[in-house]
Every structure is written in structure tokens, then in C-alpha cells.
Structure 1
Amino acid sequence: MKLRSWLSTCSSATSISTADDVVSPPSQTTLNLLFSDTSSASPSSQDTGSSSLQSNLSLQTLPSVPSLQKLYPDQTLTLSLPSLSQHHLLASLKPRSRHVTALALHHNLLYAASGNEINVFDANSYALVDTFNGKDSSSGSVKSVTFCNGKVLTAHQDCKIRVWKLLETKRHKLVATLPTVTDYFRHLIFPKNHVKIRRHRKRLWIEHHDAVSGLAVANNLICSVSWDKCLKIWSVPDFRCVQSIKAHDDAINAVVVSIDGTIYTASADRRIKVWGRPPGERKYALIATLEKHKSAVNALAVNGDGTALFSGACDRSILVWEREDSANNMVVTGALRGHTKAILCLINVSDLLFSGSTDRTVRIWRRGSDGRFCCLTVTDVHEMPVRALTAVTEGGSPGGGAVKVFSGSFDGEIKVWKVFVSSLIS
């Protein structure tokens, strides 16, 4: 079969463009595809356990069609790709409520927020260990789960942040609600602490007045963001609100903190804002505003050393931001395209980036030796949009490793699957 005829059969498949602002596969592993047998190159969204690289390769990992036409005019194509990954579905967990809105791992326990409940599973046996907050329906949907000094923090639709203690029986006990009663009455008596949120309505500046959409912890500080457009910073261990910032012009959807303490917030106003402490100052201030997305930004992730930021938005793209200099100026160095609908969640584990989307798929991306990212594989194990992701690295064979991934969707299921990648950075 001629190259041109084969290209016409796969032109409808999603590919990673080789434009300047989009990454393409680097050169590490060589794979031969014979166009006389197109079945070996058909798109495959889930690995069936075959050892054949051809059967596991998805067309999403190929360069763009025009590039192939120019570079490979003959009938045999040799592609240079990074080490390919394989993924196997291990289990499917079903919390008692419907939508899975948040996932988090802590000490071999998986915390899954579903409606107003937080279900806790053993991350190895997948047995249900505990369910808490289920009786408090007034708290609304749980938006985020994180951990600080052995405590579990949950963000709720009722504008509150709740702090839970894990008991020896693996049960959870509520120990505080933010803002705390002590903090509340400390500010209540002073009129200057009351801020106008709507016409004829005021709240204390330490309170969120809309759903708390995200939590992040770093350097003994808790960062919370809300649909009320504010970023609030809480001290540990007294859980006192120390700063409140009107951060965006629309609802804030995500917050992450890098290893150096820099805070990133993402909003429906299409902007990402960078917050840091000026030298000698205790308060956070705006460092930069990142504006490249064309629609609401839903998800953020940072890499291990804090040098790269990943943002996912309703415009179906994932942008890679990197620091240009020591002044925290950040520029877009790549745009990862392939999802056909909005990006809802992102996580970075080792040298892998996982993205979940409204298109019901999870994509795994990896940076190559030339600094560019490519899509290793695509999974479509969910029947509804993928809302939450969490993962943990595991040991593997020499020169390789594995990542156990938990993905939750609006169908109420949590899928557990393992990704095997060669030369995984631990």
C-alpha cells in the first residue's frame, strides 16, 4: 500500500502537531511499521497485555501527517519514539455516591470524595476502610482533599474547610472547621474585618463566601481557593487565616504550590497567577500573570523541582510553562494537544504527566531527551468525564518502573490501573 493511501486512512486520528508551540516525539527507541499491514498501526486506547509494540502503539504518538509525507516517501516507515508504556486495568471501585470529585493518596490509603462523602480505601487491597462526612449533607459536595501534619483537609461547597484526624482504628474524627471559632470571634468585633460581598451583605475577610474549590499545602501553610475569586492562606498548626487576596476576576478552579513555596492559581477568567513572597516580606504578593489559554483554566500541576508548570483548560490544550530566569518570568515552551474536550485534572508523577478530560480519556505524556513531550498512551476505561487523578510510583524491573494510577469520573467509578514505563525517574 502506498504511503499516501495509508495516510488518508488515518488522517482522522488525533496526532501531536509539530508546530513550533507543540511538542513532538523525541528520539530514543526505534519502531518499524510496514504500511502493507495497516492493522498493526491501528489506534488502540488500552493495552491488552501483548508484548508486541505495534499492537500497543496509538496513532496519537505519531508526528503530524504533513511531516510524514515529507520525511518518509517510501512504503516502510521508521519512527523514533521514547520508551513506550503499557497499562493494565487492575480494579474498579464504586463509592456509594455518584460523582467522584477528588482523589488523594496518603499512607497507603486512597481518599475518594463522592458527593458529600469521603470514602477511604486500602490502596493495596482496595477494601473500603472508612466513610466519613456522609451524615453532614449540608456541607455540600467535597471539592478537594489534601494532607497536613498528619491531618486530612477537605474543601466543601458550603464555603468551609474541615480538618480530620486519622485514628488508630482508621476512622476519621472531625477536629476543626476553618475558620475556627477562635479565629472567628477574634475578628468579629472589629468593623474593619467585615467586607462587602454583595449588596447589603457582609462577611469576615477570613471566610470564603462561595464553594472552596481547591487546597494546597507547603511550608507549614495551607492555601485555599474558592469560587468567590479569593486566595486565602492559613497558618499551621493553629489553622488561623493570615492573608486573604482578591486574586482573580472570576471563579478560581485550581491551586498548586511548588517546592520553593511559589503559589499558582487558575481561574475561569482564563488567567494563571503566580504568587510569592518578596525578600524580607511575610505576605504573598503577585509576581506574574500568565495569559495564553483561550478559555477557563481548570487544572494545574507542577513538576518535582518546581521548574515547570502544567495548565489544562476548556480550550482542550495543556500548556507547559517554564521559568525563563531567576525572576520567575515564565514562558510557554510547549502545548500538548490531543484531548478533544476540556481538560479537568492534571497530575505530575516522576517524569510523567497524566491528564483527564471531558472526552472520558486519560492521556500519559512524557518529556523526551530533547525537552519535548509526547503522548505515550491513551486510556478510555471510563464512560463519563474524568474528574480526578492521583498516582504513586512503584518498583519495577531494572531500567524501568511502574506507576499505579487511580482515576475517578462522573460515572461514580474509580479505575485502578498500572503503567509500566522503561527508564522511569523515581
Structure 2
Amino acid sequence: MSDNNETNVDLRSLNFIETINSNLICCICQSPFVDPVVLPCGHTFCTICIHQACEASPVCPIDRSTISITDIRPAVKIVCNMVNELIVQCPRSEEGCEHEGQRQYIENHVKNDCLYTFASCQLEECKALVLKKDLSSHVSTCKHRPAECKMCKKKMRALELEDHHRLCPAEIIQCPHCDTSRSRSEHTSHLLTCPKHPIPCKHSDFGCRWSGEREKLESEHLKSCSYEGIKDYLLLQQQKEQSLRDEVQSVRKENEILKRQQSNLSQQFQTLSDQLALLLPSQFGADLTCPEEAAAMGLGPAESILTETQRLKNDLETVSSNLASLELKQNVALMTETFRLQEELQSLRAICHGMRMQMHYIIMERRGASAAAAAASMNAAETGASSSSTDGNVATAGSVASLNRLRWLGLIDGPSGRQDTKL
């Protein structure tokens, strides 16, 4: 139950001490008015009661006249004072509170003065709800209250004090063997030297079953112990046994390492076999020798692994030689195709060169014909020239034009007229 629920007071559930005037009672809740309001028809009700009634039916509950929420007005002050001054009992009267007072002050009483309401413990770690009248006694006995060990003066909570007493290093305890007293911190070291503390024989590891007080071990038991005379031999045997155990442990560790390595190699071998089977299904499609087949052939695990390894090496060499032969064939084919392409390219270059020469020849022939026509027209226009001179000049001009065409085409070289045949 929270503090808010304790301090909230329902005014309709209060017990009234005196007789209540019927004019101060709401006809809806049959309790004295709480925040009374009045309707235009003159009837008075509690605020909450009349609002709930209007939501169900907007009429006056007494004379059934039509009303509206806006028509509701607060009752006159004297009516409010009369209901607030009614004497009531404290709502915690069933728990033992005997307070009686006016209704208008009862909520303040419950919140601040009533000792029979619940309140939280003041300790942060507790927060338990107790009656206010018991709050002081609860704090003095709360298990979360601060406490201090009387022996070591260490501060802690009260609930930890009991456990601390069982382990407190400053607490004085009595040795159960020699009946001497000392602090708990010194008791452990005392047990190592306590003459009355029961201990086994020094040779209990070798089989002696004697157990008794520490002071009797040296004075009585060791003189008659059958293991005391051969203790050196027993110690030597114990050292050898320990050495053998260490060696066995080392061999076990080495064996575990070898097993893990063998498992890793087996996984790698299987992975490589699967990859080769995918690349070369004709050669590696069949499964390699399985453990059952190896056992049938009389091969041990190590011999089986070596056989498969040798077979794998041979297959890898075969694959390598095949790859080298294939690479050589590809290189020869590439060189042959390259030479063929070079010959075709040379032929195309020669054809292009011949076509270029023919084009130039045609162009120069046209230019020569134009120049000859122009020269003939100029010679015909000249007057007083002899016919023989004219014929010689024309022949000379024709021969010069022919030589120029041959020189341009490259059939003759230079002024000497040497012929030079070219592609």
C-alpha cells in the first residue's frame, strides 16, 4: 500500500459522530454533500453526483426538470460550511486511531498527524511500510540499520553482522584441541603447530593408517612405524613414479597434438581430392582407397596415407606434363596464325601502293594534256616563225612532257633518264 492511497480520504465513507440534518444529505449518494452545487430548480447535489446523472439523463433527479451542465452553479457558502463542520471519526479508527474532528480537517490529520497510517522506513535500502507509531521502533530494529562490529570496529549493515561474527578476524576463539584462546586471524597458524591437533602419519601416502595428536607423532609413533625404516627407498620410488607420470602426461599431450595434425591432414587431403575430382573427373572420379579397402589390402593407416600421397604426386606430374604440352601447341598455333596475318597485311600494303601510283599517273596525265593544249595555242598565235622551227619545238615539248610523266611515276631516275622498276 503506497503513501498516496493512505493519505487520500474518501469523504463519503467517513463515520459521522452527530446526527446529520436531512437537508445536508445528497439524494443521489445518500451522504453529506461533497462540493455541493445547486440547479436552477433549487435542488442541491454533490458535484460528482449531478455530473454523472446529467451524463445519463439531463434532467433533475428530483423534479425531472430539464437541466444543462452550464446551468449548474456552486451552492451558497453556508451550505458548504455546514457539511464541512460535521464531526467525523478518523478513517483509521479501525486500526486504533481515536481522533475525532471536523470533516474539513480530517484529510490534513490523516496526512500529517495520524499515527495509524503507513509510512516508509527512512533507511534507503529498506523502504518497508510500517505504522507511523511503530516507525521509531522499526528503525532501531531494522535489519538494514548501520551497525558496528564490537571486535574489529568495522561498519556494516545489521543483517551482515551475524555472518561477519563467524569470520571476524579479531574475534577471540578457543582452540578445540588444546583449550587455548587467541584471535581468529591467529587461529589458522596455531593449528599448524598445535600439539593436540590430530594429524596423520608422515608416511600416510605410502600406506600407514595411524592418526593422532601431533606431539605423539615424534615421541611415540615414528619409533614403531614400519615405514620409517624404509622412508628413503619409498621417497626414491615416489620420485621415480612422479617422473614417469610427468613423462606419460607429456606423451599424452604429444599424442593429442599428433592426432589433431593427422585430422587436419586428412581434411586437407579430402578437400584436395574433391577439387581434383571436379577438375579431372576421368582421372580422379573414382574414390581413393578407403580405410576398409586399405585394411583388406593389408595396409596400415600410415602405409595407406603414403600410398595415396604417392598416387596423388604421380597424378599431379601427369597433369603438369599435359598442361606443358597443351601450352606448347597453343604457342605454335599462335605463331603460325601470326605469320599468315603478316603475309596478308604485306599483300594489302602492295595493293594499296599500286592503286596510289595509278591515281597519281592519271592526275599527271590530265595535267600534261592541259599544258600541251595551252602551248599549242600559244605557238599558233605567234607570227613570223618558221614551220620547221615550229615542228621541232612541238616535238621537243612533247618529249619533255613524256619524260616528266615517267620521272614522276618513278620509271626513270633523275635527268639522266635511268629506268628503276619499283613495286
TM class, shorter-chain normalised?
Answer: under 0.3
The higher relative CO (CA closer than 8 Å, separation ≥ 6) is in: 1
> Rg: which structure is higher?
2
The TM-score normalised by the length of structure 1 is: 0.13
Which structure carries more strand by proportion? 1
Which structure carries more helix by proportion? 2
